[in-house]
Amino acid sequence: MKAIKGKLIRGFVVLAAEWGVGCRIGPMKKCSNIFTLTDSNENTHIAHTEPLDMGVDSDTLASWLADYDRDNITIGVVASHSSLQILHGARSEGFRTLGIAVGENRRRFYQAFPGAEPDEWLMLDNYLEMMDHAEWFRERNVVIIPHGSLVEYLGSANFRELQVPTFGNRGILHWESSRERQRKWLEAGGCTMPKVLEDPHDIDGPVIVKYAGAKGGRGYFIARNYRDFRRNVDIEEEFTIQEYVLGCRYYLHFFFDPTATDGFQVQGKGANAGKNLGRLELLSMDRRDESNVDEFYKLGSLRDLREMSLEPSFVVTGNQPVVIRESLLPRAFEMAEGTVAESFELEEGARGMIGPFCLETIVTDALEFKVFEISARIVAGSNPFVGGSPYSDINEERMSTGRRIARSIRKACQNNRLEDILS
Ligand code: AMP
């Protein structure tokens, strides 16, 4: 049996060209991307589809929610990333909670945190089995809170197709998942980004080389000139060369509530010009600990390190709370407002940003922000703030991003607006 890939279009599989026509497609499990395929020689193959980025349309979402008991919503989360914060926040807002995990060890670990321990567990052998549990989730009125690990475990295409109500706008993932699309979005929103070099021969100062598939900054490297670049680059991989911005990093955790009509209202643009789109909040701010780049200066210069066959790497190992110089806050809000307003203009019928997002920035010594990335969901950098932050405490004490998500769901249940914050 040989695994092949096909494409799913409106429930039909378009076969890879090599299989041509005349193949029989076996039954496909509901909500699964696995099926069998029999070729003209009667050989059976296991095949899997790659769902097109169709996502869940608003009619489908509304039909699921019509069957939901809005007084008995369960908040479901994959047990990783920011799940302690999300579960703790959900409990604080009075929700029943569900943990989704692979491996008994993972479940047991939560006993160490009774304040966040889920009321119920769904234990799986593989996170992809979530796709087949969609009905099971919906029967329990589950709303899934997505985070970086969920998207990584399922793959972004599967995550978009998961047939369960999910907090936030899954449609934004398409824009978040490619560096070029992020750049279009953020620059149109008024953010300044680090320059990109198309030709490595043009390197004439420090650059950071980022591989497309790199997880958590692993494998990134710094080059000072073309020779440096050539010595280190893996040309088999897809990469981007970015100007290395010297400055201090700040990861700004915002929350956009499209259902709120008070507070700092985002002004729409384009088709939405003149409209208030919803309330923008700043919940917290962190700086990532990155191993080993944060500590490598102790061994000397980049040259000294390379003489010892060492390279700086950018693997995230933890997060520290920070606040930014207060005079920089208006510009931070301006960038976030532009980013949210632009999210409604990205494509025809775009639903825009919903809920938490993070602008990942470097502030230079000229006090300018350079935004090098956006995450359009809760980031693990919000974990230091389970008990609130210097920013969120001003408005309501002990308000974490996880709790803010739960609050948003609770309010939407009360006001019959779940459709506006889920996808
Ligand atoms: P990213 O994968 O884009 O989130 O980047 C991972 C890490 O690389 C960041 O947290 C920064 O420490 C560093 N980094 C990314 N882009 C730049 C840049 N243009 N200049 C300097 N450092 C950067």
DSSP string, 266-320: EEP-GGGTT-EEEEEEEEEEEEEEEEETTTGGGG--HHHHHHTT----EEEEEEE
Nearest CA to ligand 1 atom 6: 217
Calculate mean pLDDT across residues 25-44. Answer: 56
Query: CB-based burial of residue 266 (10 Å sphere; 0-12 exposed, 13-18 middle, 19+ buried)?
Result: buried
Q: Which two tokens stand for residue 19?
A: 């299989």
| pLDDT 10s digits, 148-162 | 999 999 999 999 999
| pLDDT 10s digits, 224-246 | 999 999 999 998 889 999 999 99
Q: Rounded to an integer, what is the distance from CA 346 to the centroid of its chain?
A: 17
CB-based contact 271:380 (threshold 8 Å): no
How much is the mean pLDDT over the chain?
90
Phi, psi (deg, nearest 5) at residue 259? -95, -10
Distance CA 37, CA 4 (A): 9
Calculate mean pLDDT across residues 134-143. Answer: 98
| 169: preceding bond cis by omega (within 30 degrees) | no
What DSSP assignment string belongs to 84-96? Answer: HHHHHHHHHTT-E
Using 50, 70 and 90 to split pLDDT, how confident is the model at 46?
Answer: low
Which residues lie below 8 Å from residue 233, measured CB to CB, with a gap of 6+? 200, 209, 221, 223, 239
What is the 163 CA–ligand 1 centroid distance (Å)? 34
Residue 360 has pLDDT above 90, yes or no: yes
CB-based contact 329:280 (threshold 8 Å): no
* Beta bridge partners of residue 252, listed in sequence order: 285, 359
Calculate mean pLDDT across residues 34-53. Answer: 57
Nearest CA to ligand 1 atom 18: 244
Distance CA 103, CA 100 (A): 10
What is the 361 CA–ligand 1 centroid distance (Å)? 9
Atom from ligand 1 closest to the CA of residue 290: 12
| pLDDT 10s digits, 195-216 | 999 999 999 999 999 998 766 6
- HEC sequence for 144-180: ECCEHHHHHHHCHHHHHHCCCCEECCHHHHHHHCCHH
* Amino acid 44: pLDDT: 65
Calculate mean pLDDT across residues 238-260. Answer: 97
* Amino acid 203: pLDDT: 97
Q: b/e string for 350-380 if b means 16 or more Cβ within 10 A?
A: bbbbbbbbbbbbbbeeeeebbbbbbbbbbbb
Calculate mean pLDDT across residues 61-86. Answer: 98
Distance CA 400, CA 347 (A): 31
Closest CA to 65 of 8, 143, 3: 143
Residue 8 has pLDDT above 60, yes or no: no
Ranges 31-40, 183-192, 302-311: which has the least confidence: 31-40
Residue 32 has pLDDT above 50, yes or no: no
What is the 372 CA–ligand 1 centroid distance (Å)? 7
Nearest CA to ligand 1 atom 15: 372
Calculate mean pLDDT across residues 132-146. Answer: 98
What is the 171 CA–ligand 1 centroid distance (Å)? 25
Using 50, 70 and 90 to split pLDDT, how confident is the model at 169?
Answer: very high
The residue ranges of DSSP E strands in 26-105, in sequence order, are: 34-38, 44-51, 74-78, 96-102
Residue 114 has pLDDT above 50, yes or no: yes
Distance between first and last Cα of the chain? 37
Calculate mean pLDDT across residues 329-353. Answer: 97
Distance CA 103, CA 105 (A): 5
Residue 24 has pLDDT above 80, yes or no: no
Tell me the whole-structure pTM to 2 decimals. Answer: 0.88
Ranges 18-27, 116-125, 174-183: which has the least confidence: 18-27
Residue 1 has pLDDT above 60, yes or no: no
* Amino acid 27: pLDDT: 52
CB atoms within 10 A of CB 16: 13
Query: In the chain, pLDDT over 70 holds for what percent of residues?
Result: 87
What is the 219 CA–ligand 1 centroid distance (Å)? 12
- More confident call, 15 vs 278: 278
Residue carrying structure tokens 């359009």: 376
Q: Which two tokens stand for residue 101?
A: 């995990």
Closest CA to 196 of 415, 316, 372: 372
Calculate mean pLDDT across residues 60-86. Answer: 98
Query: What single-letter amino acid sits at 249?
Result: R
Calculate mean pLDDT across residues 87-101. Answer: 98
What is the 27 CA–ligand 1 centroid distance (Å)? 45
Ranges 26-30, 393-397, 401-405: which has the least confidence: 26-30
**Is there an atom of ligand 1 within 6 Å of 250 CB?**
no
Atom from ligand 1 closest to the CA of residue 360: 4
Residue 20 has pLDDT above 70, yes or no: no
Max Cα–Cα distance, the chain, nearest Å: 72
Calculate mean pLDDT across residues 38-67. Answer: 74
Q: Rounded to an integer, what is the distance from CA 184 to the centroid of its chain?
A: 18
Phi, psi (deg, nearest 5) at residue 280? -100, 130
What is the 216 CA–ligand 1 centroid distance (Å)? 10
Ligand 1 pocket test, candidate residues 239, 241, 287, 314, most atoms within 8 A of CB: 314
* Amino acid 358: pLDDT: 98
